[in-house]
Chain A
Amino acid sequence: METNFNVPQRQSAVGIVVMFFDTIQEYARALWPILVVWIFKFNTIPKLWLTLGALFVFVVIGIIAYLKYLNFTFFLDNENDEFVVTEGVFNKTKTTIQLHKIQQVNIKQSLLQRFIGVHALDVDTAGTNDKEVSIKAISHSIALELKSRLLDNERKVQTESVSETPESAFDEQPFISIGLLSLFKVGITSNYIRSLTLLLAFFATIYDNVMHFSNNGYIDGDEFSSYFERNVLMRSIGMLVVVLLCAMLVINVVRTIVRYFDYKIAKQKGSLLLSFGLFNTKSTIIKPEKVQIVAVTQNYFQKKMNILELRIKQATSGGKEERKQAIEIPGCNKNERDAILKLLFSKIPEKGVMLKPNFRKLGFAIFLTIVLPLCGFYLLAFNGAPQFFEFNYLAIVYVIFVLLVLCFGFRNYRLYISDRFIIKQSGAWDIRNEIIEPQKIQALTVSQLFWHKSADIGYLTIHTAGGNVGFQLGDFTVIKQYVNLWLYEMETSDSNWM
């Protein structure tokens, strides 16, 4: 059976049922507070009203479902190679997708759809996270036909990019393999923040338990918190911190080794093949043309030990999970980093013109993280909570710590622009360099608060298919100049961003 997709088509008539249940679900989700009230008042409302009301709601939803069915049409525009979907009862939306932009077509069937013998067809492009178009109810034969027609166009373009499986890859000698020693170094020098939060969480639980314990009558007031007891407490807490820090380091090392054991990187036809893992070996393939952002992270200790971490973000057409994940290469040294970067970019990225943030960035950060909390703290202390004064020393420690972090963060906050690369450097302890190629840019956003106009500073956001990179409070004239340059470069070349 040859279906003519060139004229607007409706879904299967039984699709009304799917629409009906979809609409119920949608409204139930929107109106659940009212439903909850109804359920609680179930007994107080007369039965007749309830039945009539329910009947009325069902009829209305039925009509809406029918109208949705009537207004949902799709067709293939052969002239322009487009797939056009029109939908909506009151709010009408017409979505047009170029056939060659379609990345995936999925045919699915939910329980209800299986019951009435229809299938759903989702069309996905590289764009937004959601699927762009979802046809809820068509028969299997039409779904298959439509799928083949939708993907027909793409196949010509796509054939060469169909990848060979990573399994067959390791005939060649890996050109980088990361040894146990490097992983050990990574383990003891990274993830401090996460360890610290774990530590704090652990302490909070213990503290909570102690308070619970004391409230249960073992310690019955403030009198017991004498100097002697406090001294003992302090010492034991100190011991605990040391023990926990050691435990954290051990856990960090073990985790890193289990995860990245036997990390091997091999080259194949210009792509990178990675495999790693102690218990379950993971393999991934990195194609240079799909790479959007490469982040190189290194802190002071790691610099001394000559190790660093690479994170590679690729453009993906798949689900949200895949999109978020970056590929990590831990513990490579400088030469290995250069080799990888050379393979990905065919050149080692150089840092070009340097852009510094305005001092107001530091000022605002200090205001937000130091001035405001301190004001709150002392406001509370002066107004009826004098016991807060006992924690004065904590406030001082906090201010010094945060000030150090902010100052280092500000000093490291830079944007380097050269002809072929944009590199954003940031971070206080872990210094991170995010590398983008201008032709991978999808869109550019510039933004300026009105009181920054006279100072001529503003924000820049670079959107890529692997995420955004932003630069705050840079020289606005320079930013605008580079935006114009990048736009020019993007618009005059047909460079492949994926």
Chain B
Amino acid sequence: MENFTNETIDTAQLPKFEEVRLTALHPDYWKVIMAQLAVLLLILATALAFALYSIEELAAYSNRLIVAAAVLAVLIVFFSRIAFRKKAYAFRNHDVLFRRGIIATTTIVIPYNRVQHVALHEGLISRFFGLAKVEIFTAGGSSSDIEIPGIEKEQAENIKQLLMIKIQKQL
């Protein structure tokens, strides 16, 4: 107890999470998203083509439907691009920050001493580009977990190692 002091904290002097320079996702991750989208859109396009071919009543609207589908596809790609560019992360000394969102900008902060466990996930396409996803879990349920995609495999391993050391140190 003799070492215990309780000075007033100057809140203005605290490190500000909103001013932290965040790291963007790896550029190759955009290719991963595009590949995933391409597969999805291809399936949808096939379904549409199949529907146009087999349902005769739709024939009259075929042009309009195709235009609508194309616009939808462009919109999906556009919003994916925004979502990709918005995503960013930072590892500070004591916590991890992750920013995401399309319309709203959401930043979630997890201190290392609240992390329960960490997982490394490599998707099929991501693996092709040498990328991995770091998943960080807390006891606060799924809404307070972080998934950071598009990190180089080696770096992801390092991050995971770093997190494990940080978690351990908290004891």
A binding-site residues for B, Cβ under 8 Å? 80-82, 88, 90-98, 100-101, 125-129, 132, 315, 441-450, 459, 461, 463-465, 467-468, 480-481, 483-485, 487-488, 490-491, 494, 497-498
Contacts and interface: CB of A to CB of B under 8 A. Distances in A.
Given A445-B107, A446-B107, A494-B170, A465 B120 contact: no
B121 A91 contact: yes
A459 B94 CA distance: 23
Nearest to A490: B111
B138 A127 contact: yes
B142 A491 contact: no
Interface string B9-32: 101001111100000000000000
B18 A447 contact: no
Contact of B123 (A91, A98, A484): A91
B137 interface: yes
A383 B6 CA distance: 70
Given A91-B122, A125-B117, A444-B109, A463 B144 contact: yes
B140 A93 contact: no
Residue of A81, A443, A463, A488 with most partner-chain B CB within 10 A: A443
Contact of A95 (B94, B119, B138): B119
B80 interface: no
Contacts of A494: 113, 170
Contacts of B95: 487, 491
Contacts of B170: 494
A485 B9 contact: yes
Contact of A442 (B18, B120, B138, B168): B138
A95 B117 contact: yes
21 contacts: A92-B121, A94-B121, A95-B117, A96-B119, A126-B139, A127-B116, A128-B142, A132-B137, A442-B138, A442-B144, A445-B107, A445-B108, A446-B106, A450-B103, A463-B143, A465-B140, A487-B111, A488-B14, A490-B113, A497-B114, A498-B139
B116 A449 contact: no
A480 B139 contact: no
Given A98-B167, A491-B111, 5 more contacts: A96-B164, A463-B140, A463-B141, A468-B143, A485-B14
Nearest to A89: B124
B138 A443 contact: yes
A450 B11 contact: no
Given A92-B127, A129-B141, A447 B104 contact: yes
B92 to A, nearest CB: 9
B144 to A, nearest CB: 4
A484 B15 contact: yes
Residue of A127, A129, A449, A468 with most partner-chain B CB within 10 A: A127
Nearest to B126: A91
Classify chain B's interface size. Answer: 35 or more
B101 A442 contact: no
A443 B101 contact: no
Contacts of A450: 103-105
A467 B140 CA distance: 7
B97 to A, nearest CB: 10
A410 B169 CA distance: 44
B118 interface: yes
B110 interface: yes
A212 B25 CA distance: 61
Interface in B127-171: 127, 137-145, 160, 164, 167-168, 170-171
Nearest to A82: B164
- By secondary structure, the B interface counts as mixed
Contact of A480 (B9, B18, B137): B18
Given A449-B103, A494-B170, A468 B140 contact: yes
Contacts of A484: 11, 14-17
B104 A449 contact: yes
Contacts of A488: 9, 14-15
A97 B119 CA distance: 8
B108 to A, nearest CB: 5
Given A125-B116, A315-B139, A468-B143, A485 B104 contact: no
B67 to A, nearest CB: 28
A289 to B, nearest CB: 14
Contacts of B140: 442-443, 463-465, 468
A101 B160 CA distance: 16
B156 to A, nearest CB: 10
Contact of A491 (B16, B106, B113): B113
Contacts of A447: 101, 104-107
A453 to B, nearest CB: 9
Nearest to A419: B9
Interface in B37-82: none
A480 B17 contact: yes
B117 A448 contact: no
B108 A444 contact: yes
Nearest to B112: A491
Contacts of B124: 90-91
Contacts of A95: 117-119
A238 to B, nearest CB: 46
User: Ordered nearest first, which 10 A-B pairs have the shortest CB separation?
Assistant: A442-B140, A463-B140, A463-B144, A491-B94, A443-B144, A127-B116, A126-B139, A447-B106, A127-B137, A90-B124
B110 to A, nearest CB: 4
Nearest to A465: B139
Contacts of A128: 137, 141-142, 145
Nearest to A459: B104
A317 B169 CA distance: 23
B94 to A, nearest CB: 4
Contacts of A449: 103-104
